[in-house]
Amino acid sequence: MEEKELKNSILDYMSSHNTVSLATDKQGLPHAATVFYVNMEFTLYFLSSPSSRHAENFSSNPKVSATINEDYSNWLSIKGIQMEGLVEDVGGIQENGRVAKAYVKKYPGVKDFLLSPKKLGRSIAQKVAGVRFYKLVPARICFIDNELDFGHREELLLIAPQTQGRKNL
């Protein structure tokens, strides 16, 4: 697959899915959590509480691996994304209007939760006030597509915009 086609396949897959499973580590204790995300190019943005276990893990070790996939019953149909990168706290909802709007566009049901939490009651408004946006900036993405060939994987390296490249695995 040509690099441009690979990038488009990855971006299409990211845009058409909703959840990413994050694998984190803190002091040798692994943890996995699944969150809803919105992507802007290859960067994923998601909401979380800073007191969640995965967010606490990010604060001490920002390195993560992640997957975006479906629950397939046929091995020959498997497609998905595996990635590794760094997670960063980018602030609250108010500081991230562009990300919040993209999130609401993808998930219209969270509009009041994100933009008008007081409409949902004081308790929810208090919880929302502490929620933060995080971004996952991948350094490496593997796109798996068993429909092309069993075990087919292609890698996209995103180390820096000037040094982007890919190789077949």
pLDDT computed for residue 93 by the predictor: 83
| pLDDT tier at 119, thresholds 50, 70, 90 | confident
pLDDT (0 to 100) of residue 160: 55
| Cβ-contact 62, 87 below 8 angstroms | yes
Where is pLDDT greater, at 92 or 4?
4
Structure tokens at 129: 């006030």
* Within-domain flag for 118: no
Q: What percent of the chain has pLDDT over 70?
A: 93
The total domain count for the chain is 1
Residue 161 — very low, low, confident or very high, per pLDDT cuts 50/70/90? very low
Q: Is residue 122 part of a domain?
A: no
Closest CA to 17 of 113, 84, 81: 81
Domain extent for 43: 3-93+131-168
d(C-alpha 40, C-alpha 116), whole Å: 23
Domain assignment present for residue 98? The answer is: no
Mean residue pLDDT across the chain: 88
Q: What is the CATH number of the domain that holds 10?
A: 2.30.110.10
Find where tokens 């060939």 sit. Answer: 149
For the chain, the straight-line distance linking the first and the last C-alpha, in angstroms and rounded, comes to: 12
Check residue 8 and give its pLDDT.
Answer: 96
Model-level pTM greater than 0.85? yes
